[in-house]
Amino acid sequence: MKIIHKRIVISGSLFLLGLFLLAGRLIQIQLVSTESFSKHKVNLIDESVRQRTHSFTINEGRGLLLDRNGEMISAELKPAVILFPFLQGEAKVIDKVADVLGKSPSVIRRAIEGHEEPFVIADEKDDITTETMERINKLKLPGVYAHYIARNKHSEFASSLLGVTGQAPEVIKKNYKDKLDKGMISVNTKIGKTGFQQAFDPFLISEGETKLIYHVDRSGSPLFGLNVKYLAPSNPFYPVSVKTTVDSKLQAILERAVDVSGIKNGGAVLLDVSSNELLGMVSRPYKTGLSKNQMLTRHAPGSVFKIVTAAAAIEHKDLQKERTFDCDLGIDGKKAKHPLGNLDFNSSFSQSCNRTFGLLANDMMKKDHSMLDDYAKKLGLTGRSGWNGQVYHYQDFKQFPEEEHATIWADRYDKNQPLAISQTAIGQKDVQVTPLSIANMIAGIARGGKVEEVKGATKILYKNGNTLLTFQDHKKKAEIQPYTAQKLQMLLRGVVTDPKGTGRALQGLPYAVAGKSGTAEKGKANTSNKWFAGYFPADHPKYALVVIDLDYTGARTTVISAYADIVKKIYNNDKEK
């Protein structure tokens, strides 16, 4: 008996303990941790409301990216007819909708049966017009609404530049704690992850969606009749728009030229010389959210870097004045792969003689070990080329946050090694620069030596069109002398006009081109980085353009063909203005 009694007591105690634990858990769920349940900090109230609410998002509330002419480039507005699933069985309503849309009632009925959430009734052939929307809304049918809906563009147009958005709860908690605590956003609010979407995310991030909602019971039927509510943020100034410097027509020209040329890994950068604004940028390959922007990534520039060595030599005239160089030899003093004979400084530049610039760099480094670094800085290659500075409480706001820093030397001891100096002088060894910085250097030379930071956006605009913020020009402090810039302009033009120049294939274009080619060997067998960086028209510079093929094999003239195509198309575009 005592054993049985003991078992009963233990069983009863365990049962009561289980009840207490269950009650405690219910108290925690229902009263204590309603807004921050479990290690995942789940808001149970929000989740409960979400389960009982059906909604259709008309606009996520995220700010827009505009091109330089004010046209949307990150999203598009589409006319749409939205149907709610509680219309099942509403035969008269379905018949009226079908009549306006020119569809069979059975088609609409089947569509409604296949959805548990509000949806857009459309297919690829549908062309919802403004007139159709007006007719639908005049009917005032419950559960049927016509409205413009905003959706992100899912095309490859300027994809790497504009960037992508996505959910990142941990980033939200870290970067937007104040807005999260005030309930202005949730951990599921989309943020910019790459490109301009990332750069301008503090301004673009949504402060509330515009949507149609209704509440349902457990069976999915309307809880408060057939009334659908329209919810929208009350702030008349948001969402804002970022007015970028991108020219949509020129961007399209760049993209088509790069693709037609066969460049699979590389791209192009186009700047406005007078304003130093980015007009277009293309990076290949592109896979949504996965690919690096190659135009903001550093690469070996090859002979394009000879511009830096040339600038230093020009400002130290005694090193190259009335001097010829044995261009039958390479930088190591052995027979060159492509012997060019004895050349003066100008011809050495246009025909890209490695020996000349290796010797000049060594002479200069004997006088000053920082010579190449100093001129790379003066020409805008080192440091950030993209606009950065203080914007409100953001101390280091970057318009191109993915931009990588250039490197000139990886080992300071190389500054004492003649061969390493020669390799660096011709853009090999450890020299790594971004196509954006090369374009910035070219634009600075075309302007007469004045180097500025590249702008990708000029303004941030309130919803009503008024200006919230203007990005001012940022000029670099160090720059080359005007005479040096003029001499470099002459050298760059000679690359194209010299019958033996490396850019002679660009002669005869409607806009005269000045520029420099470059080929940098890579560890990958039989491939190299192939560049052409220049500006046009040569006599009155308007555009600075860089094209690069990062997997060049020599089988096709990808870079030159793309460059020529772009110059021709831009010339035609300018004529049409």
User: Tell me: the pLDDT tens digits for 316-350?
Assistant: 876 666 789 999 999 999 999 889 999 999 999 99
Contact (Cβ atoms closer than 8 angstroms) between residue 443 and residue 423: no
Q: Which residues are catalytic?
A: 303
The two tokens of residue 244 are 């970028």
Mean pLDDT of 117-121: 84
pLDDT at 44: 44
Nearest by Cα to 204 from 86, 351, 74: 74
Q: Tell which wins on pLDDT, 129 or 260.
A: 260
pLDDT at 2: 59
The two tokens of residue 472 are 């001012």
Contact (Cβ atoms closer than 8 angstroms) between residue 369 and residue 420: no
Mean pLDDT of 97-113: 87
pLDDT at 52: 56
Contact (Cβ atoms closer than 8 angstroms) between residue 229 and residue 146: no
pLDDT at 236: 78
Cα 206 to Cα 150: distance, rounded to the nearest angstrom? 13
Mean pLDDT of 155-183: 86
pLDDT at 145: 86
Cα 179 to Cα 216: distance, rounded to the nearest angstrom? 29
Provide the percentage of residues in the chain whose pLDDT is more than 70.
85
Q: Tell which wins on pLDDT, 57 or 272.
A: 272
Please name every residue paired with 124 in a beta bridge, in sequence order, or none if there are none: none
Mean pLDDT of 364-389: 93
Contact (Cβ atoms closer than 8 angstroms) between residue 323 and residue 344: yes
pLDDT at 48: 46
9 CA to centre of own chain = 70
Residues of the chain with CATH 3.90.1310.10: 75-152
Residues of the chain with CATH 3.40.710.10: 260-553+568-576
Contact (Cβ atoms closer than 8 angstroms) between residue 500 and residue 494: no
Mean pLDDT of 160-173: 90
Q: Is the pLDDT score of 516 beyond 50?
A: yes
User: Tell me: the pLDDT tens digits for 188-240?
Assistant: 888 999 999 999 999 999 877 777 777 766 555 555 445 677 777 777 788 89
pLDDT band at residue 1 under the 50/70/90 scheme? low
Task: Please state the pTM of the whole predicted model.
Answer: 0.85
Mean pLDDT of 455-471: 94
Mean pLDDT of 405-424: 94
pLDDT at 231: 72
Lowest pLDDT segment from 36-45, 360-369, 392-401, 487-496:
36-45
HSE-CB for 55 with a 13 A CA cutoff: 18
As a CATH number, domain 260-553+568-576 is 3.40.710.10
pLDDT at 241: 94
Contact (Cβ atoms closer than 8 angstroms) between residue 327 and residue 390: no
pLDDT at 157: 84
Contact (Cβ atoms closer than 8 angstroms) between residue 474 and residue 333: no
Mean pLDDT of 145-171: 83
Mean pLDDT of 29-51: 49
pLDDT at 24: 58
Contact (Cβ atoms closer than 8 angstroms) between residue 287 and residue 354: no
Q: Is the pLDDT score of 383 beyond 60?
A: yes
pLDDT at 112: 85
Mean pLDDT of 563-576: 97
Mean pLDDT of 248-256: 96
Assigned superfamily of 75-152:
Penicillin-binding protein 2a (Domain 2) (3.90.1310.10)
Please name every residue paired with 214 in a beta bridge, in sequence order, or none if there are none: 54
Q: Tell which wins on pLDDT, 515 or 76.
A: 515
Cis before 285? omega within 30 = yes
